[in-house]
């Protein structure tokens, strides 16, 4: 009986002790829940260091806020600044109108140039509602508008923590603003083609899974800056040769060498369908299409799949109004150089250093096909189209800044956007 009483007392003690512990934990949780967040203090802390480099032209408002005592005027100014700061964070602080005027001037000089900016909607009502509720942190309020590109916070850290010359500081700010102007995306997986670095980067789960070189558009035929999605790729493709290239290259060489078209596996058709009516070199007076005022050629040159095809063995398609895409190349020797005259020579499309590795990766992870079956199609030399089964965003960017060994460096300004683009505010 003594043994039973002893055990009974131990059980009672455990129950009482557990009950007290649970009561204390519930009390702590309730206190945590009841504790109000002070988003105003959090926001003022962000402004003090300009944590996300988004004060821009609103610095005067912030300076005025610092001179005011707590009151209605100060509260209203903070709310006004919150909306301005969020918009700057979401959409950048580059003078877009000035940029567009300069680009229009370049286009009149026959320079093909395009820089697409993507405006993100800032939900002002939601922001103010969250802010006034006092139970949503400022980081949560701003999170939808903070660029998630891996370089963004790295650039911000350099901006805040390194002593930079005025010129370097300005150029770094331009690159930070360019990241803000990119199309917003939520996917962890995406492709980035950065023009100034001649680079292809495949990001998956926040880090690079593939990286290799590219060849990009020359200064007169610039690769456009834009965002899209890779929808499919074509193995053993034909090349629909643009009229501009036909006039500049194909027709002159054809007139010098009657066997040129046969050597290059090029056919002449009524349009860009192989099923359309076919013509032959001797059927047409080609010299009249070489005259300066003639732009349109009513005959289309199509290069068939072959080892001499300008597209190489594969091209990757992402919808855009400029008809640019990524493709293989027969000029693989170009990737051994970093010179602009060798790496910036295309008519706008992007040539890839390792297209077969990309076929393997995309086939394995982004299509319903196995790589073995895709490789069989590749080896057949027959043209095949393979669709992607998963969304794969692609961003063609223009970033002249990069960080290596925690130091800031710059690429050559190929298309002169560092001078063409201006911040819409003055630096101190």
Q: What is the pLDDT of residues 276-291, one digit of tens each?
A: 999 999 999 999 999 9
What's the confidence (pLDDT) of residue 25?
52
Q: Dihedral of CA 415/152/199/367: which sign?
A: negative
Domain termination residue (choose one: 140, 162, 181): 181
Q: Is 404 among the domain residues?
A: no
Q: What is the DSSP letter of 334?
A: G
Whether 26 and 54 map to the same domain: the answer is no
Q: What is the DSSP letter of 112?
A: B
The CATH number of whichever domain residue 324 belongs to comes to 2.40.440.10
What's the confidence (pLDDT) of residue 83?
98
Whether 294 and 269 map to the same domain: the answer is yes
The token pair at 200 is 């292809």
Q: Which helix (H) or strand (E) holds 83?
A: helix 72-91
What's the confidence (pLDDT) of residue 188?
86
Whether 260 and 160 map to the same domain: the answer is no
- Give the position of tokens 């009516």: 277
Q: How many domains does the chain have?
A: 3
The DSSP result for 277-304, as a single string, is PEE-GGGS-GGGGGSTT----SSEEEEP
Whether 366 and 245 map to the same domain: the answer is yes
Residue 415, pLDDT > 80, answer: yes
The token pair at 397 is 């960017």
Whether 142 and 278 map to the same domain: the answer is no
> pLDDT for 211-259, tens place per residue?
999 999 999 999 999 999 999 999 999 999 999 899 999 999 999 999 9
What's the confidence (pLDDT) of residue 17?
43
Whether 321 and 387 map to the same domain: the answer is yes
Q: Which helix (H) or strand (E) holds 228?
A: strand 226-229
Distance of CA 96 to the CA centre of its chain: 18
Residue 23, pLDDT > 70, answer: no
Residue 4, pLDDT > 70, answer: no
What's the confidence (pLDDT) of residue 307?
82
Q: Dihedral of CA 234/236/240/246: which sign?
A: positive
- Cβ atoms of residues 225 and 115 within 8 Å: yes
Q: State mean pLDDT over 383-412.
A: 96
Q: State mean pLDDT over 393-421.
A: 97
Residue 208, pLDDT > 60, answer: yes
Residue 3, pLDDT > 70, answer: no
> pLDDT for 137-147, tens place per residue?
999 999 999 99
- Report which of 30, 47, 29 is spatially closest to residue 39, judged by C-alpha positions: 47
Of the two residues 306 and 34, the one the predictor is more confident about is: 306
Q: Is 410 among the domain residues?
A: no
Domain termination residue (choose one: 137, 160, 181): 181
Q: What percent of the chain has pLDDT over 70?
A: 92
Whether 79 and 111 map to the same domain: the answer is yes
What's the confidence (pLDDT) of residue 35?
58
**Per-residue confidence band for 126, with pLDDT thresholds at 50, 70 and 90:** very high
Whether 27 and 47 map to the same domain: the answer is no
Q: What percent of the chain has pLDDT over 90?
A: 83
Of the two residues 188 and 123, the one the predictor is more confident about is: 123
- Cβ atoms of residues 226 and 114 within 8 Å: yes
Of the two residues 320 and 18, the one the predictor is more confident about is: 320
Whether 109 and 138 map to the same domain: the answer is yes
Whether 28 and 72 map to the same domain: the answer is no
> pLDDT for 140-169, tens place per residue?
999 999 999 999 999 999 999 999 999 999
- Collapsed DSSP state (helix, strand, coil) of residue 69: coil
Q: Is 71 among the domain residues?
A: yes
Whether 281 and 137 map to the same domain: the answer is no
- Compute the chain's Rg from CA coordinates: 30
Range of the domain at 56: 40-181
Q: What is the DSSP letter of 333?
A: G
What's the confidence (pLDDT) of residue 24?
52
**Per-residue confidence band for 187, with pLDDT thresholds at 50, 70 and 90:** confident
Cβ neighbours around 372 below 10 Å, total: 9
- Report which of 153, 154, 159 is spatially closest to residue 139, judged by C-alpha positions: 153
- Cβ atoms of residues 103 and 115 within 8 Å: yes
Crossing angle of helices 124-133/72-91, nearest 10°? 130
- Using CA atoms, how far apart are residues 261 and 250, in angstroms rounded to an integer? 8
Q: State mean pLDDT over 51-68.
A: 96
């Amino acid at each position: 009986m003594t043994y039973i009483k002893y055990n009974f007392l131990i059980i009672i003690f455990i129950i009482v002790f557990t009950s007290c512990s649970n009561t204390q934990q519930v009390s702590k949780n309730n206190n945590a829940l009841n504790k109000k967040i002070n988003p105003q203090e959090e926001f003022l802390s962000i402004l003090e260091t300009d944590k996300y480099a988004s004060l821009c032209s609103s610095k005067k408002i912030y300076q005025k806020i610092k001179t005011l005592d707590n009151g209605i005027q100060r509260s209203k100014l903070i709310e006004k600044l919150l909306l301005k700061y969020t918009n700057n964070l979401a959409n950048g602080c580059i003078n877009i109108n000035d940029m567009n005027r300069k680009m229009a001037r370049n286009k009149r000089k026959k320079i093909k140039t395009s820089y697409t900016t993507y405006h993100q909607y800032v939900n002002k009502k939601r922001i103010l509602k969250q802010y006034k509720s006092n139970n949503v942190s400022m980081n949560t309020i701003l999170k939808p508008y903070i660029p998630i590109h891996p370089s963004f916070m790295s650039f911000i850290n350099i901006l805040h923590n390194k002593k930079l010359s005025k010129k370097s500081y300005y150029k770094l700010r331009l690159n930070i603003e360019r990241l803000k102007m990119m199309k917003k995306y939520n996917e962890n997986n995406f492709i980035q083609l950065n023009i100034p670095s001649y680079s292809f980067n495949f990001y998956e789960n926040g880090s690079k899974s593939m990286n290799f070189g590219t060849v990009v558009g020359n200064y007169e035929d610039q690769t456009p800056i834009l965002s899209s999605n890779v929808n499919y790729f074509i193995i053993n493709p034909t090349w629909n040769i643009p009229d501009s290239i036909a006039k500049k290259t194909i027709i002159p060489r054809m007139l010098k060498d009657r066997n040129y078209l046969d050597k290059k596996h090029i056919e002449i058709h009524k349009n860009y369908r192989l099923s359309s009516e076919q013509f032959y070199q001797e059927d047409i007076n080609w010299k009249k299409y070489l005259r300066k005022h003639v732009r349109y050629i009513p005959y289309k040159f199509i290069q068939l799949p072959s080892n001499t095809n300008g597209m190489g063995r594969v091209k990757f398609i992402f919808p855009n109004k400029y008809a640019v895409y990524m493709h293989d190349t027969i000029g693989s020797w170009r990737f051994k150089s970093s010179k602009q005259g060798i790496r910036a020579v295309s008519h706008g499309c992007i040539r890839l250093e390792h297209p077969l590795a990309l076929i393997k990766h995309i086939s394995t992870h982004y299509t319903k096909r196995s790589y073995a079956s895709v490789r069989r199609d590749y080896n057949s030399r027959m043209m095949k189209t393979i669709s992607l089964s998963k969304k794969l965003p692609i961003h063609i960017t223009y970033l002249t800044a990069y960080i290596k060994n925690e130091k800031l460096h710059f690429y050559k300004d190929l298309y002169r956007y560092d001078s063409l683009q201006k911040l819409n505010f003055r630096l101190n």
